[in-house]
Amino acid sequence: MKNSLFFKSSLATLVASGLSVCAQQHKSPNIILIMTDDMGYSDIGCYGGEIPTPNIDYLAKNGIRYTRFYNTGRSCPTRASLLTGLYPHQAGIGGMSEDPGSNKNAEKGDEKPFGYKGFLNHNCVTIAEVLKEAGYHTYMTGKWHLGMHGMDKWPLQRGFEHFYGILSGATNYFRPGGGRGLTLDNSNLPSPQPPYYTTDAFTDHAVRFIDSCKDDQPFFLYLAFNAPHWPLQAKDEDIEKFVGKYETGWEDIRNKRLQRMIELGLVKKEWGMAEWESRKWSDLSEKEKHDMALRMSVYAAQISAVDENVGKLLDCLKEQNRIENTLIVFLSDNGACAEPHNETGSGTVEDINNTNSWNQPSYGLPWAQVSNTPYRKYKIRAYEGGISTPLILSWPAQFSGYNHQIRDNVGFLPDIMATFVDAANAKYPETYHDGQPIFPMEGSSLLPTAANRNVVLHEYIFGEHFNNCYVRWKNWKAVKDEKSSVWELFDMDNDRTERNDLAQTYPEVLKNMTVKWDKWANDHFVYPKK
C-alpha cells in the first residue's frame, strides 16, 4: 500500500470545503441515483435526442444539466468510481470486474495487482456504507458488476439494506438466468416466468423498497438499469413506437441531433462534428438500411422503457409527498457502445428478442457514433464520445431557483460521493471495515455549482482504462489512445470534437500534463498492471 495516499489533508477539511450552507439548513434529503448502461450522450430528449423521454426531461426542467461531466469509459470501473468517490484503480477495478466466466480465476485474486482485483477492496467505502452510518435506509436495484464470486462482494455486504438485480455485467432482459441470473438480497433466484422485463422489474422493486420505508429515516436508492446495453431486446409495444423512424439514416439523425443540441445550448456550433467512421447511408442496400434502422428502433425502445420507468418512480415520490426533498441524480455509465466495433453490430436481426439465441445482437458502430453526437469515438476510448456523460441533478427543495439551467463546470464520477456526503451532512470515514484505512475522497461536491457557474471543482482530472489515457486541465485535454503511443492535445473550449491535435503547437502544455498524468498513475495503482 502506498502510504502517501493516506496522509492527505484531514477529512473534515475536505468535506467542509465543499459543504453548502443550504444543505445544512434542511432535513436530510432522500437521495436517488439513476444510471443507464451504455447510453450515448445525445440519446435523451433534453440532450438533443429524438427519442421521447418526457420523464427524464422533467428532471432536467426541474433541475440542472451538466455538459462537462466525465465517466471512466466503461461500465465496471465507472460503477467502482461512482460508488466509492475514488478513481477506479484505488477501489480495485481499474480493468474488468468479475463476471461468470471469470470464476475459474477467482482463487487467484491475491496474485492480481492492487488496482485490478476485479472487485471492491476494503480500502474504500461505498455511498451506501457512508449514508447508512448517517441514518439512511439503503436500497439498490439493477446491475451491480462490482464483484460476484463470494457473497462478501455482494451489495448487502457493501452497505445496502436490500438488493434486487443482477451481479454480472449483462443479462437477458426477458429471462435472466444461470450465471447472469437474478439475486434478491443474498439469495440467487430462478429464472423468472414471462411476462418479465428487467427495466420494469428493477423499477417495481425500487418502488417496493421505498414503500417499505415507513419511519422518519431518509432513504438512498441506487437504480442501475441494464438498458440500453446489448442484447437488443425490447417489448413489442415499445418497438412499434419507433418502426420506420430511423429509415432516413445515420447522417440525417446525427445532423438533426446536432442542430437541437446547438439550440439547447449544449454544444457550440463551431465545434462541428467528429470524424465519421463508416459508409454513407446511401451506400447501403435496401435490406441493409431496413436491418440497421430496425436495430436502432429496438435500441430506442429500450431507452423509452427506461423513461417510462423513471416516470413510475417519480409518480411514487409524488404520491408519497417525497419529491420536494429528494435529490435525484441521473447519468449514463459511459459513452454509447460500438461493440463489436463493426458497421452492423453483433448477431442478426433474427436474434433480436430471441431468448433462445446465444448471439447478443447490438446496433453497431455507426449508431454508436450517432448516440454520441457530436463527439469522437465511443465506449472504452478516452475521447469525448467514450467518457462524456449526460448528468442531471434535480432537488426541488434546493434547486428551484435554477430549474432548467445548464452548467459547464468540469466534474467527474467521484464528485457524486462528495455531493451526497454534502447533501446528507454525512461523515466520510478515515477507517472502516474493522479499522482498515480508507482512501480520502477524490471528488468535490456539485452543490455549490448550482449557485455559482464559475466554481472550479478540480485543477486536474485523470483517467485510464485498457491503455486509454487522458488528463483534463483548464481548457486542455490530453489523450493517449489504446491504438497509439503518442499523446494528443485538444482545446476543449474551441474543439471539443477533438479534430485538431495541438501537441506540436503547445509542447510545453502537453509536457506539463503528461508529467502530471504519470505521477497520478503511479500514485493511484494504474501500475503495475501485471
Instruction: Please report, for the domain that includes residue 282, its CATH number.
Output: 3.40.720.10
State pLDDT tens for residues 108-125.
Answer: 556 899 999 999 999 999
pLDDT of res. 107: 46
Q: pLDDT tier at 87 (50, 70, 90 boundaries)?
A: very high
Looking at the domain assignment, is residue 27 inside a domain? yes
Q: What is the pLDDT of residues 238-297, one digit of tens each?
A: 999 999 999 999 999 999 999 999 999 999 999 999 999 999 999 999 999 999 999 999
Contact call for residues 525 and 90 (beta carbons, < 8 A): yes
The SS3 assignment for 326 reads strand
In a domain, 251, yes or no: yes
Are 149 and 98 contacting, i.e. CB atoms less than 8 angstroms apart?
Answer: yes
Domains identified in the chain, total number: 1
pTM, whole model, 2 decimals? Answer: 0.94
Q: Are 305 and 322 in contact (CB under 8 A)?
A: no
Percent of the chain having pLDDT more than 70?
A: 94
Whether residue 500 is contained in a domain is answered as no
Q: Which residue has the cell 476510448?
A: 381
Residue with cell 442496400: 285
Is 483 inside any structural domain?
no
Return phi, psi of residue 344, to 5°: -95, -10
Boundaries of domain holding 373: 3-459
| DSSP H stretches of helix in 1-74 | 11-18, 21-24, 54-61
Give domain status of residue 512, yes or no: no
Exposure string of 349-379, with b = 16+ CB inside 10 Å and e = fewer, is bebbbbeeeeebbbbbbbbbbbbbbbbbbbb
For the stretch 482-519, what's the b/e string if a residue is b when 16 or more beta carbons lie within 10 angstroms of its beta carbon?
Answer: eeeeebbbbbbeebbbbeeebbeeeeebbeebbebbee
Dihedral (C-alpha) 60, 421, 13, 89: value to the nearest 10 degrees? -90
Task: Decide: 298 and 239 in contact? Cβ < 8 Å.
Answer: yes
465 within a domain of the structure (yes/no)? no
Amino acid at 75: S
What's the rounded Cα separation, in Å, for the pair 225 and 422?
25
Angle at 121 between CA 129 and CA 478, to 5 degrees: 100
Grid cell for residue 246: 430511423
Euclidean distance between CA atoms 40 and 377, whole angstroms: 11
**To the nearest whole number, what is the mean pLDDT of the chain?**
94
Q: Answer yes or no: is 142 within a domain.
A: yes
Mean pLDDT value of segment 202-226: 97
Question: How many Cβ atoms are within 10 Å of 136's Cβ, its own excluded?
Answer: 25
Residues 421 and 102 sit within 8 Å (Cβ to Cβ): no
Q: Is residue 490 part of a domain?
A: no
| 331 in Cβ contact with 309 (< 8 Å) | no
Q: Look at residue 372 in the predicted model and tell me its pLDDT.
A: 98
